A and B are shown apart, each in its own frame.
Chain A
Amino acid sequence: MAAPKNRRPGYSRRAQYGNFFSYIAALVGLGLGVLLLLVSTGNSGAFSGLRGAASDAGAPAGTVAASGRTASQGLWATIAGYFTHGSRVARLEQEVAEARVKLAEQSALKEENARLKALVGLTEGETKPVAITRLVGSTSSSSRRFAMIGVGSNQGVQTGMAVRSPLGLVGRVIEVGRTSSRVLLITDSASSIPVRRADDGIQAYANGQGDGILRIKLAVTGINPLKPGDAIVTTGSGGIYRPGQAVAVVVSLTPDGALARPLSNPAMTEFVAVDPLFEAPEELPVPAPEGQ
């Protein structure tokens, strides 16, 4: 296409100045952007109010669309199901048989657990979620992994609350608007969760990589005891996530730990629950300085 006419506007002083100042404005915009970046990287919560208001405005459309998302995935699963029907039925029947046995074992364990807890005098109620909502959207083009949920401070959501799906941990709330909030997914590269192996409690950290895989780093390195298929759950230390919540399954091993796949794939999750703030065991009171 031919060059636009507005670069050399002719003899009109007004047009010349207008042109000149638009370039000045562009450079000012660039400088302003750098300034904003300096402020926001120094203090990540700096513009959270603005973002909260913006996501409140965008959330209703997302909520409508979210129901379509799960429906369309159901459609694909239905079509795929025709091709793998026979083998899946056989496999599922076997799994059901195994699961029945396990269920019986579990109920025995539960009974024993309740008995032991009563013995110790420990009463632990089931945690009731603050809200149950849909995942409305995610920052799918940024390398940071945030999602939006359709509840906010009006429903009692606070910063720091854990978000989980029936399958496992999804993330935690980092910014709250009135009717929507922003969730840091566990796969974000800034997310680090203290975890343990479900069977024996080997301590590790689950760090997000930003690509949907968690990197499990053992707290004590040396011999790597992990195996593919190990279940990873939270330890609850650090006081953000409740202990014993399912996080991921080990897929492959690395020299200092493993790569693990999160159990709750956010794309397949329809509803998520926001848990109340987890109260970590109180720290020892710091003795007040005497004298003065």
Chain B
Amino acid sequence: MAPPLPSLLREIGKRQINRAPSPILAMSVPWLLVMLGSLHPTWPVIASAPVMPPIGFLLLVAWQQLRPGLFPVWAGLPLGLFDDLYSGQPFGSAVVLWSAAMLGLDFIEHRFPWRGFLLNWLEASGFIAAYLFLSLQIANLGGGATPLVTVVPQVVLAVLAYPIAAWIVGGADRFRLIKIREI
């Protein structure tokens, strides 16, 4: 499922003997990728309706499904705080929902450990739909009055975009584990 690496990167990882992945790269890439996803409100898309999938959340779920236990269970707090700075939701909305999602994903991971990608997608779809509807409710608490129907197209788009997020995460996972450090 992971995309093939460009030839330059493949050359970097070619020498395997007495090489190991760099711990800095291996630890920082997942966090940075999710934060980059949270930055999408600064991307050049000016929308008059909520249409973009919540990219930071998609990437977090994808990481959690590819490498369960890579993020600590409390990762929803710092990553959610960062997302709230840009998302336009009432402050604290992503902190609550991402923390709850991390606990939920962790529970499912231990209850049903063996899953294929279709089952992963189904699970992620449930989380995405719940996340978007609850985000809407929280935004409405904070002063909005948007009807529930408005986010339905966004839910559909986000569910369809999930495999792309999983593909990106797969590529990033290969990248972060390239053996570049000499032992």
Using a CB–CB cutoff of 8 Å, the interface residues on chain A facing chain B are 1-7, 22-23, 25-30, 32-41, 44, 46-47, 50-51, 54-55, 58-59, 61-62, 65-66, 68-69, 135-148, 182, 185, 187-190, 209-212, 262, 265-267, 269
Contact = CB atoms under 8 A, between A and B. Distances in A.
A50 B74 CA distance: 22
A6 B69 contact: yes
A199 to B, nearest CB: 26
Interface string B97-110: 10110110000011
B92 A3 contact: no
B45 interface: yes
A138 B54 CA distance: 13
Interface stretch (B16-24, B26-34, B145-153, B168-176): B145-153
A54 B81 CA distance: 11
B42 A37 contact: no
B177 interface: no
A185 B46 CA distance: 11
How many residues of B sit at the interface, in one of the four size bands? 35 or more
Given A69-B44, A266-B46, A189 B146 contact: yes
7 contacts: A30-B95, A39-B91, A51-B86, A141-B53, A143-B144, A188-B144, A210-B150
B180 interface: no
Contacts of B47: 138, 140, 212, 266-267
A269 B102 CA distance: 39
A262 B128 CA distance: 30
B106 to A, nearest CB: 8
Interface string B63-97: 00010110011101100100011111111111111
Contact of B92 (A5, A26, A33, A189): A33
B24 to A, nearest CB: 21
Given A1-B115, A25-B72, A140-B46, 14 more contacts: A1-B114, A3-B113, A33-B76, A33-B96, A36-B96, A41-B138, A41-B141, A44-B142, A44-B143, A58-B41, A141-B41, A141-B51, A189-B144, A209-B150
Interface in B102-158: 102-103, 109-110, 113-115, 135-136, 138-147, 150-151, 154
Nearest to B65: A1
